[in-house]
């Protein structure tokens, strides 16, 4: 048997569940009542739609920034911890991901509500109740909580594979802790950082469950808009156009991130 035959199931899968859906979306995006039209894309440039897109990009940017600020130290700590302890801590981070995405979000609804555990704790210490649910901060918190592991693990995997002898050599040559980090550890971890950013930013832009549950539907993100066009409004043409715009933005972002990651790989030796 030819080795290429083993790729047939994968090719069939790609055709049925990737190529065909994209072709259908392209067809609906460029037609209205079966006739070619660009009106679907003209609607995209309305102030309301642009505002939703900018709001989604802003929240996704904040989510990515917070995940990077929290995730990098955690990944660095896990990579520098002894093997047995490191494996145990990694499992502790993985366990919540075994739970369904919706269940994790519902769990935080019960914690953030007015009579939830967090507000009860605040009342007990004398602070009083705070409005946590159905706010922009609640949506941002939900994004960070759900996507933080996707920032930690790529950075951790890169740092874990890096050669510890490079850091030891830098120390032997007189570099202090800060210089070792900025000149050796950070450049070596950049591919993981780039991968983590792409794995957090893209899903954060397109999510629709978190703002609906934790935001109470008062904060519409681009994913909510697309989902509503298909399931609520029934306007598949406009929904397909919005999907194509989002696909284009994702491809551009991935291209930039991949170029950045390639540059990071190529410049590690120069930085060292």
Q: What is the CATH number of the domain that holds 89?
A: 1.10.3720.10
Which residue segment(s) compose the domain that 57 sits in? 42-271
What's the CA angle centered on 159, arms 205 and 272, to 5 degrees? 110
Report which DSSP code applies to 4: G
Instruction: Give the chain's mean pLDDT.
Output: 87
Q: What is the pLDDT of residue 262?
A: 60
Q: What is the pLDDT of residue 155?
A: 94
Task: Work out the end-to-end distance of the chain between its first and last CA atoms, rounded to an integer number of angstroms.
Answer: 48
Q: What's this model's pTM, rounded to 2 decimal places?
A: 0.85
Q: How far is CA 8 from the centre of its chain?
A: 31
Nearest CA-CA partner of 102 in 208, 6, 181, 180: 208
Q: What is the pLDDT of residue 264?
A: 56
Q: What is the percent of the chain where pLDDT is above 90?
A: 46
**Is there a domain that residue 121 lies in?**
yes
Domains in the chain, number: 1
**Is there a domain that residue 144 lies in?**
yes
- Residue ranges of the chain whose pLDDT lies below 50: 267-272
């Amino acid at each position: 048997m030819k080795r290429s035959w083993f790729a047939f199931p994968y090719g069939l899968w790609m055709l049925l569940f990737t190529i065909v859906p994209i072709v259908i979306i392209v067809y609906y995006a460029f037609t209205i009542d079966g006739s070619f039209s660009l009106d679907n894309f003209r609607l995209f440039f309305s102030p309301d739609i642009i505002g939703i897109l900018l709001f989604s990009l802003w929240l996704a940017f904040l989510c990515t920034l917070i995940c990077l600020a929290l995730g990098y130290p955690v990944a660095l700590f896990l990579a520098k911890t002894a093997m047995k302890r490191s494996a145990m801590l990694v499992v502790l981070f993985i366990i919540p991901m075994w739970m369904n995405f919706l269940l994790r979000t519902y769990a935080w609804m019960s914690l953030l509500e007015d009579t939830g555990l967090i507000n009860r704790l605040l009342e007990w210490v004398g602070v009083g109740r705070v409005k946590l649910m159905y706010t922009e901060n609640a949506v941002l918190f939900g994004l960070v909580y759900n996507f933080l592991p996707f920032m930690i693990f790529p950075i951790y995997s890169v740092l874990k594979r890096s050669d510890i002898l490079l850091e030891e050599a830098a120390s032997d040559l007189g570099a202090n802790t800060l210089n070792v980090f900025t000149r050796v550890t950070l450049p070596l971890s950049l591919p993981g950082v780039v991968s983590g950013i792409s794995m957090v930013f893209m899903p954060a832009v397109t999510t629709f469950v978190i703002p609906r549950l934790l935001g109470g539907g008062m904060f519409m993100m681009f994913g909510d808009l697309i989902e509503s066009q298909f399931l609520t409004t029934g306007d598949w043409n406009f929904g397909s156009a919005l999907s194509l715009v989002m696909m284009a933005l994702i491809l551009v972002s991935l291209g930039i991130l991949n170029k950045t990651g390639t540059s990071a790989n190529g410049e590690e030796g120069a930085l060292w």
